[in-house]
Homo-oligomer: A and B are copies of this chain.
Amino acid sequence: MIARLVGDAAGVMSGGVLIGPGDDAAVWQPPPHRAVVVTQDALVEGEDFRREWITPHQLGRRCLAVALSDLAAMGASAAWCTATLCAPAETVLDDVLALALGLREEAEATGCRLVGGDLSGIRGPLVVDVCAGGSVEPERALRRGAGRVGDVLAVTGTLGGAAAGLRALFGRRPPAAAPAQVDAWVETWRRPRARLIEGRRLAALGVRCAGDLSDGLLVDAERTAAASGCRAELRLEQVPLAPGLRTAFPDAWGELALGGGEDFELLLAAPRPLLERIALDWPPELAPITPVGVLREGSGVSLYADGAPLPLPRVLSRHFA
């Protein structure tokens, strides 16, 4: 059963996978001179998603992307993943297979292999728990705590789209937004992209400090600042907003962009000259890098709009329970 879910065990192994699914454990040969990076992330029905919001296939892709976002935030390459599925008895086999297919497709799209996992019943909600592994040159691993006073804080992509999508899934569609716009936000929530290529490129070009925005800019900027022994100063007018966000949510766009973590973008800190050099030939097909603030002496996070201090908005939690 597990073998069927993870695919053809007898198939050609690639990416250093020496033993795939079907034995007691998987075996993988990392590239020489690289260290192994591992992370684990669970998505729990009723906490992280509802079944009517996402198809099993999309859920499979999403749960791997969420785990891979942590590898991206380390500047690592993805190589393998394992997944546990706890499925209630009424789960139909087609849904289990669709979820596994989603996992495998996301793995293929990101250069990693689904090499094993566990399948269990559960008298409760669906749980998908993914462990993802990859490799990095140890001295190039992006650290939360490598920021320094004076470093510019910057993010990849745009923020707030996934939070707007989640709000629409909860039935709170903003009246001013076009249906296609709402669909795009929902798609942003359903289908996060781990910024693996961006993370690796940043690490290769000399950036040392990054993390992913799994809990939103405000929370993660504070986390990065704390790990770096600094204060994060954020400038609201610089935050790159998801298309249509400001118009559709005239009162809530700031909260969505600062508190919505499910975009799974990266937050980095780097000296300004380095960031400027990186911007000079940043490939246009990658998620753009936008400065959003600076690391200062002190601790905590402070927010400014056009130079004036703002009170911190109440932020959304990733878990809506």
Residues of A in contact with B (beta carbons under 8 Å apart): 18-19, 22-30, 35-42, 44, 46-48, 70-71, 73-74, 76, 80, 82-84, 86, 89, 115-118, 120-125, 127, 129, 131, 133, 136, 138, 141-145, 211-212, 227, 319, 321
29 contacts between A and B (CB under 8 A): A18-B35, A18-B141, A22-B144, A22-B227, A23-B145, A24-B71, A25-B38, A25-B74, A27-B136, A27-B141, A29-B138, A30-B30, A36-B36, A38-B82, A40-B82, A40-B118, A40-B129, A42-B84, A42-B86, A42-B129, A44-B86, A44-B122, A46-B123, A47-B120, A82-B131, A84-B84, A122-B127, A127-B129, A131-B131
Is B39 a contact of A116 with CB atoms below 8 Å? yes
Contacts of A123 in B (CB 8 A): 46-47, 124-125, 321
A24: B residues at CB distance < 8 A: 39, 70-71, 73-74, 142, 144, 211-212
Q: Output the least CB separation between A204 and chain B (Å).
A: 17
Whole-angstrom distance between the alpha carbons of A120 and B296 in the complex? 33
CB distance from A227 to the nearest CB of B (A): 7
- Could you tell me the dominant secondary structure of chain A's interface residues? strand
The complex places the Cα of A76 from the Cα of B19 at a distance, in Å, of: 13
B35 and A28 contacting across the interface, CB-CB below 8 Å: yes
Q: If the complex has contacts A18-B35, A123-B124, A131-B82, are A118 and B27 also in contact, measured as CB distance less than 8 A? A: no
B-chain residues with CB within 8 Å of residue A142 when the two chains form the complex? 24
Q: Which 8 A-B pairs have the closest CB atoms?
A: A124-B124, A131-B131, A25-B39, A24-B73, A40-B82, A24-B70, A42-B84, A25-B70
A40 to B120, CA, bound (A): 12
Min CB distance, A229 to chain B, in Å? 13
Listed residue (A41, A124, A138, A212) with the most chain B CB atoms within 10 angstroms of its CB = A124
Chain B residues lying within 8 Å of A136, measured Cβ to Cβ, are 27
Question: Is B115 in contact with A25, judged by CB distance below 8 angstroms?
Answer: no
17 extra interface residue pairs, beta carbon distance < 8 Å, beyond A29-B138, A40-B131, A42-B118:
A18-B141, A23-B143, A23-B145, A24-B39, A24-B70, A24-B212, A25-B39, A28-B35, A38-B82, A38-B116, A38-B133, A39-B82, A42-B84, A47-B120, A47-B122, A84-B129, A122-B127
